[in-house]
A and B are shown apart, each in its own frame.
Chain A
Amino acid sequence: MKTESYIKELKKHLSLLDRAKREEIVKEIESYVDEKNANYELLVERFGKPEDLAKNYLEDVPVEEQKVNSFLKKLKNMTLTIIIFLIVVISIIAVAVYFMTKDPFDYSKYSALTIMEKIEVPWIELNTIEKFDIAQSKVVVYWSDEKIVKVSCKNSGCDEDDENNCLESKNILKEGSFIIKQSSCYLSLPKEKIDIKTYQSKLILIEPNAVNINSKQSKIEIAEGQNSYNYTLLDKQSSIDSFDSTKDGILIEGELYQSKMGRYKY
């Protein structure tokens, strides 16, 4: 056995002493080891076993003080255990929340055509939509060469087997405006300028065509792809990423109130 083991054992048995006192005792024993070139056996012969030596040192520590120190040590260990437990729990929750809120796939890798194969919820065709009114929803928007609007929505609390009824009950077509409420939708829009109004929603625009956005307390993400854009936005208490804006680019205009606009990242 090495002298380091003796010192380690001694330290362990002296744990009721305060650190400074303990270190001083240990330093004195180490000084003895150096002077005598002592090995483990000599230490046991001259000082006794580490636990017995520690007992001799602790003999003079009052029982009350020992109890208090022991209690504090337990409390310290318990606090440490609780902190570690909380960190683990918080980490698990954070990971769970991350995976629950994470996009199911990279929307930007799909186009208006390919997304229709990807999404299992049926697509519904709508005519003459000039405006979208989106509230408390998550909407991913694609643009296609087709002249009609296609919508695929999954409503919260909706029976998936009866998706059409859900679409009718929550998402209403009203005077040329399509209202999306508390839903998760994919849209395929014709390449014409369109108005989108959002409230407390998340809007993801994949390589958008010209659009006029009126956003309140919403998060808007844009996947630009290879396109150039002309951003003309009025910002009211909002945060907008620094996009490269060119005059000849596709026009993204509108007003953002307490909203956030940035690049789409999966």
Chain B
Amino acid sequence: MEEDYKKWLAQFRKGYIELCTLVTLKENGQIHGLGLIDFFAKADLTIKEGTLYPLLNRMEQNGWLLSSWNIPKGKGHPKREYQISEKGEEILPKLIEAYELHSKSLENLKGKK
């Protein structure tokens, strides 16, 4: 039972986190992986790096994100920063619409009880 739930949650969260990532990058510009995790944490969305980093990788492969290495001039280490791409900007409204539609459908279904 617990396993089934975890599998479902992992599956569900993937799409949801992709949506949240696009929204966060759209609102805040370039952010690196850890920065995104901080943003999510402030919004009570807990996510581990082991989930987020491969997702960012996939989103970049889809063409929804662009990444670049920010190499600090002084002290500090290089960070891979992500930003929303044109393709990401195009698809974001559709994803939000789909999410809201599904959310509404769920509300409707629950209301019919």
Contact with B along A31-50 (1 / 0, CB 8 A): 11011100000000011100
Further 5 A-B residue pairs, CB within 8 A, beyond A32-B34, A60-B57: A27-B78, A35-B79, A36-B34, A47-B49, A52-B50
Residues of A within 8 A of B78 (CB): 27, 31
Q: Chain A at the B interface: mostly helix, strand, loop or mixed?
A: helix
* Nearest B residue to A24, CB-CB: B80
> Does A210 have its Cβ within 8 Å of any Cβ on chain B?
no
Docked pose: A48 CA to B47 CA in angstroms: 12
Docked pose: A59 CA to B80 CA in angstroms: 21
Q: List 5 A-B contacts (CB under 8 A).
A: A34-B77, A46-B48, A53-B53, A56-B50, A60-B57
Docked pose: A53 CA to B49 CA in angstroms: 10
Residues of B within 8 A of A250 (CB): none
Q: Chain B at the A interface: mostly helix, strand, loop or mixed?
A: helix
Interface residues on B, range: 10 to 19
> Does B51 have its Cβ within 8 Å of any Cβ on chain A?
yes
Which of B32, B49, B69, B79 is the one whose CB lies under 8 Å from A46? Answer: B49
Q: List residues of B whose CB falls within 8 A of some A CB.
A: 32-34, 48-51, 53-54, 57-58, 61, 69, 77-80
Which of A35, A53, A59, A60 is the one whose CB lies under 8 Å from B50? Answer: A53
Asked if A28 and B50 make an inter-chain contact with CB atoms under 8 angstroms apart, the answer reads no
Residues of B within 8 A of A46 (CB): 48-50
Which of A28, A48, A53 is the one whose CB lies under 8 Å from B80? Answer: A28
